[in-house]
């Protein structure tokens, strides 16, 4: 006897996370690897967050503050929002799940840019809903006009990523406000701003500006995983109208964020020096890598995040696998439907240089292999005549 599993669960392909360094080195028997695959902060965690964690360990015998009072209070003050508008999550990923659980019923539709963060579609399918992917524009920006046209009576939630993952493109104010004017106000619009701290485009929307009277059902997601360097602690938050937060609290686990994560986030919010270093490292890294990629004759997508896309002009999976053998972990975009693209996170200066060196070697080797195979085919063809 096998357990009975619903078809919508059995048909799901699990989310493919970036390969950990430990797994790569265990698999390939190598050491000294670098990871530029998961958009992590190469500087490590915020030093003030580490200090706060150390101070909080003495109370690990106690349950965490289920309401996250002090962190929510600090976030509300920092962003000029009502205290009741802030909801904490086990990473912003958990809040994505809470939104779908609260506002979607089986058979309902959730609209998602395509490609974008893969978890949106997975969560919708977990709950028996229908993800509705809307292709990006030719320039890889989110096509808000097409999304507005695709709304039906079954549309309950729309996810927008700003900057988008994996493209690094942002939403402009004019297009976004035109989009809002075209869709029914009962639809929940989620603006996922996991990478907003790295944005330099002055025309980019800031989701917090739209919470309240401008739009009753907007939810803005933020995370401490990227710019603050706290990916291992899983802490994020959402901002929304208090009534919306009340619905999400109905489906939230009572102790969904741990004591150490809350303490670390509080410390990180005070670490302006670390935030500035993280931004500067990202911006300088992007400029260096853009120039090197241009020298190689490859095309790329300029980004407002801490990663960018490169068209390697061949099968991205093969490039990814060859880079692993050189101890460099990147991300193939094949799972996003972009067969020739890789996504690269910005690393330390020496990691960026190592990536470029390895990529040159890999592409050169692949080119030589292709030439050898073509030569073999041609010579074989002559012999067969």
DSSP string covering 302-354: --SSSEEEEE-SS-HHHHHHHHHHTTEE-EE-GGGT-TTEEEEE---HHHHHH
Domain ranges of the chain: 7-43+273-384, 47-271
Asked if 12 and 230 touch (Cβ cutoff 8 Å), the reply is no
User: Is 341 within 8 Å of 324 (Cβ atoms)?
Assistant: no
Whether CATH 3.30.428.10 fits 7-43+273-384: no
CATH topology match: 7-43+273-384 vs 47-271? no
What is the CATH code of the structural domain delimited by 47-271?
A: 3.40.640.10
Strand partners, 382: none
What is the spatial distance between Cα 283 and Cα 101, in angstroms, rounded to a whole number? Answer: 37
In tens digits, the chain (385 residues) has pLDDT values of 667 777 777 776 776 677 788 888 888 888 999 999 999 999 999 999 999 999 999 999 999 999 999 999 999 999 999 999 999 999 999 999 999 999 999 999 999 999 999 999 999 999 999 999 999 999 999 999 999 999 999 999 999 999 999 999 999 999 999 999 999 999 999 999 999 999 999 999 999 999 986 788 999 999 999 999 999 999 999 999 999 999 999 999 999 999 999 999 999 999 999 999 999 999 999 999 999 999 999 999 999 999 999 999 999 999 999 999 999 999 999 988 999 999 999 999 999 999 999 999 999 998 766 655 554 554 454 333 2
Task: Count Cα neighbours of 366 within 13 Å in the Cβ-side half-sphere.
Answer: 18
Please name the residue that has the structure tokens 């190689």: 296
DSSP characters for 90-157? SHHHHHHHHHHHHH--TT-EEEEEESS-HHHHHHHHHTT-EEEEEEPPTTS---HHHHHHT--TTEEE
């Amino acid at each position: 006897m096998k357990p009975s599993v619903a078809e919508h669960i059995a048909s799901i392909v699990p989310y493919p996370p970036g390969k950990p360094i430990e797994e790569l080195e265990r698999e390939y028997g190598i050491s000294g690897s670098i990871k530029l695959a998961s958009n992590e902060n190469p500087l490590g965690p915020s030093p003030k967050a580490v200090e706060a964690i150390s101070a909080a360990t003495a109370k690990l015998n106690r349950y965490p503050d289920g309401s996250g009072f002090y962190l929510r209070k600090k976030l509300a003050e920092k962003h000029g929002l009502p205290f009741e508008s802030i909801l904490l999550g086990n990473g912003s990923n958990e809040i994505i799940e809470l939104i779908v659980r609260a506002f979607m019923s089986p058979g309902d539709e959730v609209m998602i840019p395509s490609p974008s963060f893969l978890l949106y579609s997975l969560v919708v399918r977990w709950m028996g809903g229908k993800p509705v992917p809307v292709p990006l524009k030719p320039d890889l920006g989110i096509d808000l006009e097409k999304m507005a046209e695709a709304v039906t009576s079954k549309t309950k939630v729309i996810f927008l990523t700003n900057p988008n993952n994996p493209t690094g493109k942002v939403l402009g104010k004019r297009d976004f406000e035109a989009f809002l004017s075209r869709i029914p106000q009962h639809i929940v619009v989620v603006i996922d701003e996991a990478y907003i701290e790295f944005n330099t485009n002055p025309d980019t929307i800031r989701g917090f500006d739209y919470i309240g009277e401008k739009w009753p059902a907007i939810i803005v997601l933020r995370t401490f995983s990227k710019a603050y360097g706290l990916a291992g602690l899983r802490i994020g938050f959402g901002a929304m109208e208090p009534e919306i937060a009340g619905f999400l609290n109905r489906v939230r686990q009572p102790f969904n964020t741990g004591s150490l994560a809350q303490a670390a986030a509080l410390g990180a919010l005070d670490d302006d020096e670390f935030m500035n270093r993280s931004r500067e490292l990202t911006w300088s890294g992007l400029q260096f890598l853009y120039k090197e990629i241009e020298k190689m004759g490859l095309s790329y997508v300029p980004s407002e995040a801490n990663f960018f896309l490169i068209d390697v002009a061949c099968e991205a999976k093969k490039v990814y696998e060859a880079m692993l053998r050189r101890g460099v972990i990147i991300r193939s975009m094949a799972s996003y439907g972009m067969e020739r693209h890789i996504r690269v996170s910005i690393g330390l200066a020496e990691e960026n240089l190592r990536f470029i060196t390895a990529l040159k070697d890999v592409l050169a080797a692949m080119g030589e292999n292709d030439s050898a195979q073509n030569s073999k085919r041609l010579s074989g063809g002559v012999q067969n005549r």
